[in-house]
């Protein structure tokens, strides 16, 4: 099917078969490979037969180009038999003319001329030659001779030729470039032409939908289009499709069509195409020329041809499948040297190191290794790390390590690998980290890299090796002081004092991180350099751990999070700042930042970093009493990073899980968690302290009071020794006080609760609320309500929902003991709702539902009948919620800034709308959140 060729057909028909014209007629059809030249020639020869015109056809070929008169012989074969018998014609064995390959003996020329005269006397004659650029020179000379001398209008000649680029033989030039020649140039199909072609194959609707995609991949090249269509139908024949019906997908047939387009240009043209495939594009012709060892003018010609044929567009491949096919077409022994040469040329031109490395990584570098190669690979690795392309970075570093012969350089490469991959999978780097401990301690590893190794060694509990490396780095810093080394050592000193303070071998290095005086919250003076963000974050964390929720430290941590650009280099900074907010009970802002960082690390696939922030999110959830969230985030932390990848910090995620499951009443689960092996010395760091405290809570909950007391006391002793016995730390005193209460030692319990109250201060906090609750349990029943009500108010203000549920449960029990069952039932319902919301299943089971609750109230709690409640106005809903929560009319009026009379009117309407008769029948689940935000 000829598409978009109507104008050309009409013009050629008019020229060759119609109208009066002196002498013979000659038309030349040119165009890129597979542009439809041959099909157009066939159309013309068919038209000649229909008009009574004799047609003599020939096809020139590169395989016959060296044989004289090969094309002329084909023309003779098309003549009538009497002419073939009567006249001798030159054969393929005719020797070349002694005066040159394009010269022909005069008798041969004259004989061919006479044969054509006889034919044109009988009828009009059309000579059609396909791919005339491949015709042998003697045949071209004969054809030019006849056209020049023939005066008959009955003779028409039409030839097709390939691309117009490149030089032509003199004989062909003589034939094609004369004033009376008509040139017809076939352009690639437009999108409209592709649509018309696809309509025949796919139908009008699919053709309209996908024509632009087909055109983008082929540039309108008919052979490439046919390859895409054939691939589609072959996929249909094999089975289910994985793409949209009609959508182009490059398969084997398309790739073969592309190779055919390239091969038709000849070996030189093919080599240019291979060079472009290797480089990825043809934007730099000089580079391409040097790569394949060809003249620039020849390269430009081939690039133009590849563009014309639809392989390239704006110097880039239209389809990656074509580039892949060209690379696969190269032999292995040819591909390696080309990649090496490309890498060297790109390196010399100062190209992107990643582009240089891409070629180096495509083959194994042979010995001896050129000096520039290891450095080029290191540079590429740094670029890849910055772009978050970790696998590429590792490949570059590994090859650089294989190419390196210098021991110190090899150690730097190993350390860089650890640093690059640690955020993604520490487990794969553990052995490499261990192998670097010795060089770091002996001074073989440069100090900046040694600092990163030290941090890793601390995390895995290799304290002796970390101390040796720190001693070496400290000596180097004393001999050659630098701001970078000083910052690194001070940072590690702060990390030691805040996280690993229980190791004597490391204590000499903690002095660099010691806090001096109160926190300086003022902006730095103009004449003083600003403190590095990592130091600020670590100092803020150390301050909060030692002094509690210091306002200056909290503000500094918030500034760090707001100003530092998050990356692998700043992850320790962000983590320390975020820990500061968590320990200072700034739950809202800490949750916001933690969720952001979880999302970022999850998108990057940085599993280790994701695990670190998930466990912080679990800690936030535990401190706010959201037990289900605690389990969810802690489980995810251990899923992203298995326990052995945490090193001695595994106590943190395990501690969160043990604490939450204990509060939920899942004691069998806790027993399994406590049975998991943990590294030796896990309780000698801050993270492990959470595990020790959680174990104590479990022992208390399961009736092993003396074991619980031992663990609670151990927590207190460690915190005191570490200088962290503040309100930010696990409240071991309250745990011990609760344990003494179960042993009926109210005096000891009261003393510990009062100590915790003093430590917590007057500001509302989760710890203060919990301390008030425990203290109330040590007092006579008559003194408890005031303390418990204060505890509830403090916990409501600070957001400690699980502790608030426990306080409400104690308040309910106290009201019952004091002979006020109505208030007791109200407090029970509030405690029950909170316990259910928090996931405190054991507490929920212990709270018995009020027997006298009406059927309507129970139905409302189960959301079985919400119609009546939907009729309440906002004002009625707020009043009803506070009343259901146990507030008196006076308290409700004060909270909502309305009169007591207005409260009574609202409640009367509420009772009528939801069909109850008294206050105690109000469902506790009635918009509980409103009750606590009013």
- Please classify residue 281 by burial: count the beta carbons closer than 10 Å to its beta carbon, then call 0-12 exposed, 13-18 middle and 19+ buried: middle
Does some domain include residue 62? yes
The CA distance from 95 to 108, in Å, is 13
Mean pLDDT to the nearest integer, 906-924: 80
Rounded to an integer, the average pLDDT of 191-205 is 88
Question: What SS3 state is found at 158?
Answer: strand
**In angstroms, rounded to a whole number, what is the distance separating the alpha carbons of residues 768 and 757?**
6
Residue 604 maps to a domain: no
DSSP string, 32-54: STTSSHHHHHHHHHHHHHHTT-E
276: number of Cβ within 10 Å: 28
On whether residue 626 sits in a domain, the answer given is no
Q: What is the per-residue burial (b if ≥16 Cβ within 10 Å, else e) of 62-91?
A: eebbebbbbbbbbbbeebeeebeeeeebbe
Question: Degrees (nearest 5) of the Cα angle 822, 823, 829?
Answer: 95
Residue 789 lies in a domain: yes
* pLDDT at residue 864 tops 50: no
Best CA proximity match to 97, nearest among 60, 134, 139: 139
Can you give the residue range of the structural domain that contains 224?
191-249
Return the minimum-mean-pLDDT range out of 94-108, 672-686, 736-750: 94-108
DSSP β-bridge partners for residue 31: 186
Phi, psi of 65 (to 5 degrees): -65, -25
764 pLDDT above the threshold of 50: yes
- Do 149 and 64 share a structural domain? yes
145-177 pLDDT, tens digit per residue, is: 888 887 777 888 999 987 655 445 666 777 777
Judged against a pLDDT cut of 90, whether residue 454 lies above it is answered with yes
Q: What pLDDT score does 585 carry? A: 94
* pLDDT score, position 869: 65
pLDDT reported for residue 242:
52
Confidence grade of residue 881 (pLDDT, cut at 50, 70, 90): confident
Give the pLDDT confidence score for residue 851 in this predicted structure: 40
**Residue 382 structure tokens:** 């740094």
Are residues 798 and 812 located together in one domain of the fold? yes
Tell me what pLDDT residue 458 has: 93
Positive or negative, the CA dihedral 681, 569, 577, 544 is positive
Q: For residue 749, is it within any domain?
A: yes
Could you tell me the pLDDT band of residue 933, with boundaries at 50, 70 and 90?
Answer: very low
Whether 830 and 756 share a structural domain: yes
Looking at the structure, tell me whether residues 86 and 99 fall in a common domain.
yes
Question: Which residues sit opposite 59 in a β-bridge?
Answer: 130
Whether 564 shows a pLDDT value over 60: the answer reads yes
How much is the pLDDT for 172?
75
Tell me which of 849 and 179 has the higher pLDDT. 179
pLDDT at 523 > cutoff 80:
no
Of 186, 206, 222, at which residue does a domain stop?
A: 186
Reported as a pLDDT band with limits 50, 70 and 90, residue 94 is: low
Instruction: Give the CATH number, domain containing residue 106.
Output: 3.40.50.300
pLDDT at 693 over 80: yes
CA distance 866 to 268: 82
Residue 871 has pLDDT above 90, yes or no: no
HSE, side-chain direction, 13 A CA sphere, residue 242: 5
Span 758-780, average pLDDT: 94
**Residues 873, 753 within the same domain:** no
Is position 60 within any domain? yes
Report yes or no: 711 and 682 within 8 Å, Cβ to Cβ: no
User: How does residue 854 score in pLDDT terms, banded at 50, 70 and 90?
Assistant: very low
DSSP label at residue 242? S
Q: Can you say how many angstroms the Cα of residue 876 is from the centroid of all Cα atoms in its chain?
A: 50
Do 13 and 153 belong together in one domain? Answer: yes
pLDDT at 569 (0 to 100): 86
DSSP 682: G
**Exposed (0-12), middle (13-18) or buried (19+): which is 868, by Cβ within 10 Å?**
middle
Digit-coded pLDDT (tens) for 614-623: 999 999 999 9
pLDDT band at 52 (very low <50, low <70, confident <90, very high): confident
Does residue 901 share a domain with residue 845? no
- At 518 the pLDDT is 57
Please name the residues in contact with 62: beta carbons below 8 A apart, sequence gap of 6 or more.
134, 266
Last residue of a domain, one of 233, 249, 265: 249
Specify the pLDDT at position 107: 83
- pLDDT value at position 924? 58
Dihedral over Cα of 537, 539, 543, 546: its sign: positive
Per-residue pLDDT, averaged over 726-747, amounts to 95
SS (H, E, C) 177-239: CCCCEEEEEECCCCHHHHHHHHHHHHCHHHHHHHHHHHHHHHCCCHHHHHHHHHHHHHHHHHC
What pLDDT, on a 0 to 100 scale, did the predictor assign at position 667?
93
Q: Residue 337 above 60 pLDDT?
A: yes
User: In this predicted structure, which of 362-366, 372-376, 572-576, 628-632 has the lowest mean pLDDT?
Assistant: 362-366
Residue 866: per-residue pLDDT = 54
CA-derived radius of gyration, the chain: 44
Inform me whether the pLDDT recorded for 370 exceeds 90: no
Nearest by Cα to 157 from 271, 18, 16, 53: 16
Segment 123-144, tens digit of pLDDT: 899 999 999 888 888 888 888 8
* Nearest alpha-carbon partner for 896 in 791, 914, 888, 765: 888
- Say whether both 884 and 838 belong to one domain: no
In this prediction, residue 207 carries a pLDDT of 87
CATH code: domain of residue 886: 3.40.50.2300
Last residue of a domain, one of 165, 186, 207: 186
Total tally of structural domains belonging to the chain: 4
pLDDT band at 745 (very low <50, low <70, confident <90, very high): very high
Asked if residue 205 and residue 60 are part of one domain, the reply reads no
Lowest mean pLDDT segment, chosen from 304-308, 385-389, 488-492, 760-764: 385-389
With contact defined as beta carbons under 8 Å apart, do 420 and 452 qualify?
Answer: no
Nearest to residue 751, comparing CAs of 726, 775, 786?
Answer: 775
Do residues 66 and 145 share a domain? Answer: yes
For all residues of the chain together, what is the average pLDDT? 86
From the list 274, 259, 258, 283, the residue with the least C-alpha distance to 327 is 274
pLDDT at 577 over 70: yes
Which residues 6+ apart lie within 8 Å of 714 measured at CB? 683, 692
Question: Is residue 203 domain-shared with residue 177, that is, in the same domain?
Answer: no
pLDDT of residue 114: 87
Residue-level pLDDT at 126: 92
Residues 132 and 210 in one domain: no
Which carries the bigger pLDDT value, residue 528 or residue 91?
A: 528
Q: Is residue 300 part of a domain?
A: no
In a domain, 149, yes or no: yes
Question: In the predicted model, what is the mean pLDDT of residues 417-445?
Answer: 90
CATH number at residue 784: 1.25.40.10
């Amino acid at each position: 099917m000829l598409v978009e060729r109507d104008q050309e057909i009409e013009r050629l028909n008019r020229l060759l078969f119609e109208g009066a014209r002196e002498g013979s007629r000659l038309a030349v059809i040119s165009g890129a490979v597979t542009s439809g030249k041959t099909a157009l020639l066939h159309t013309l020869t068919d038209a000649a037969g229909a008009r009574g015109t004799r047609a003599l056809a020939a096809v020139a070929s590169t395989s016959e180009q060296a044989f004289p008169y090969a094309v002329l012989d084909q023309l003779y074969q098309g003549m009538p038999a009497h002419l073939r018998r009567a006249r001798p014609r030159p054969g393929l064995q005719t020797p070349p003319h002694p005066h040159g390959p394009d010269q022909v003996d005069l008798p041969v020329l004259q004989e061919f001329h006479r044969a054509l005269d006889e034919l044109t006397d009988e009828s009009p004659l059309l000579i059609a030659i396909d791919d005339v650029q491949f015709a042998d020179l003697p045949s071209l000379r004969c054809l030019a001779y006849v056209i020049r001398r023939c005066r008959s209008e009955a003779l028409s000649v039409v030839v097709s030729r390939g691309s117009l680029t490149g030089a032509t033989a003199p004989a062909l030039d003589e034939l094609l470039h004369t004033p009376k020649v008509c040139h017809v140039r076939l352009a690639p199909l437009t999108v409209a032409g592709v649509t018309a072609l696809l309509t025949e194959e796919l139908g009008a609707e699919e053709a309209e939908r996908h024509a632009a995609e087909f055109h983008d991949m082929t540039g309108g090249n008919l052979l490439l289009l046919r390859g895409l269509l054939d691939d589609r139908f072959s996929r249909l024949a094999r089975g289910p499709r994985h793409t949209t019906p009609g959508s182009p997908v490059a398969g084997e047939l398309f790739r073969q069509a592309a190779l055919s387009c390239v091969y038709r240009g000849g070996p030189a043209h093919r080599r240019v195409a291979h060079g472009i495939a290797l480089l990825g594009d043809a934007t730099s012709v000089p580079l391409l020329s040097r790569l394949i060892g060809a003249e620039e003018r020849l390269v430009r010609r081939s690039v133009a041809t590849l563009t014309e044929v639809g392989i390239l567009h704006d110097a880039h491949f239209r389809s990656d499948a074509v580039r892949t096919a060209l690379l696969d077409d190269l032999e292995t022994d040819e591909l390696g040297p080309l990649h090496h040469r490309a890498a060297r040329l790109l390196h010399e031109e100062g190209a992107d190191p990643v582009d240089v490395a891409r070629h180096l990584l495509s083959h194994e570098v042979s010995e001896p290794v050129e000096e520039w190669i290891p450095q080029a690979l290191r540079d590429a690795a740094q670029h890849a790390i910055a772009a978050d392309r970790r696998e590429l970075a590792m490949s570059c570093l590994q090859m650089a390590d294989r190419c390196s012969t210098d021991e110190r350089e090899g150690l730097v490469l190993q350390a860089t690998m650890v640093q690059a991959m640690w955020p993604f999978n520490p487990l794969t780097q553990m052995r490499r980290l261990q192998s670097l401990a010795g060089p770091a301690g002996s001074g073989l590893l440069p100090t900046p890299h040694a600092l990163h190794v030290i941090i890793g060694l601390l995390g895995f509990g290799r304290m002796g090796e970390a101390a040796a490396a720190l001693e070496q780095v400290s000596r180097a810093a004393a001999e050659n002081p630098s701001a970078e080394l000083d910052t690194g050592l001070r940072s590690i000193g702060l990390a030691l004092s805040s996280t690993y303070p229980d190791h004597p071998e490391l204590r000499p290095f903690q002095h660099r991180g010691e806090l001096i005086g109160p926190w300086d919250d003022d902006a730095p003076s103009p004449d003083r350099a600003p403190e590095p963000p990592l130091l600020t974050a670590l100092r803020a964390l150390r301050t909060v751990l030692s002094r509690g929720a210091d306002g200056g430290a909290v503000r500094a941590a918030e500034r760090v999070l707001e100003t530092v650009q998050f990356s692998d280099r700043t992850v320790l900074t962000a983590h320390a700042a975020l820990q500061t907010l968590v320990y200072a009970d700034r739950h809202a802002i800490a949750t916001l930042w933690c969720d952001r960082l979880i999302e970022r690390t999850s998108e990057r696939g940085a599993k280790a970093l994701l695990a670190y922030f998930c466990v912080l999110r679990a800690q936030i959830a535990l401190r706010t009493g959201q037990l289900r969230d605690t389990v969810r985030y802690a489980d995810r932390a251990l899923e992203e990073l298995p326990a052995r990848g945490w090193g001695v910090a595994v106590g943190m995620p395990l501690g969160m899980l043990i604490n939450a499951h204990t509060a939920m009443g899942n004691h069998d689960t806790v027993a399994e968690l406590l049975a998991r092996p943990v590294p030796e010395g896990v309780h000698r760091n801050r993270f492990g302290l959470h595990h020790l405290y959680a174990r104590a809570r479990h022992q208390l909950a399961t009736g092993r009071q003396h074991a619980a007391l031992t663990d609670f006391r151990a927590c207190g002793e460690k915190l005191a020794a570490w200088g962290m016995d503040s309100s930010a730390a696990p409240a071991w005193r309250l745990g011990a006080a609760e344990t003494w209460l179960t042993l009926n030692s109210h005096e000891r319990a009261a003393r510990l609760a009062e100590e915790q109250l003093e430590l917590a201060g007057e500001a509302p906090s989760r710890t203060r609320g919990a301390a008030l609750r425990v203290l109330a349990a040590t007092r006579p029943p008559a003194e408890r309500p005031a303390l418990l009500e204060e505890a509830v108010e403090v916990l409501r203000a600070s957001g400690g929902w699980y502790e608030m549920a426990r306080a409400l449960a104690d308040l309910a029990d106290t009201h019952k003991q004091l002979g006020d069952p109505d208030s007791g039932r109200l407090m029970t319902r509030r405690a029950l709702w909170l316990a259910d919301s928090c996931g405190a299943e054991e507490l929920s089971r212990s709270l018995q539902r009020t027997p006298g609750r009406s059927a309507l109230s129970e139905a409302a709690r189960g959301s079985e009948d919400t119609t009546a409640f939907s009729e309440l106005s906002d004002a009625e809903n707020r009043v009803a919620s506070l009343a259901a929560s146990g507030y008196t009319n006076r308290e409700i009026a004060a909270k909502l800034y309305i009169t007591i009379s207005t409260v009574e009117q609202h409640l009367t309407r509420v009772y009528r709308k939801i069909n109850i008769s008294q206050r105690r029948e109000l469902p506790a689940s009635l918009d509980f959140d409103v009750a606590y935000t009013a």
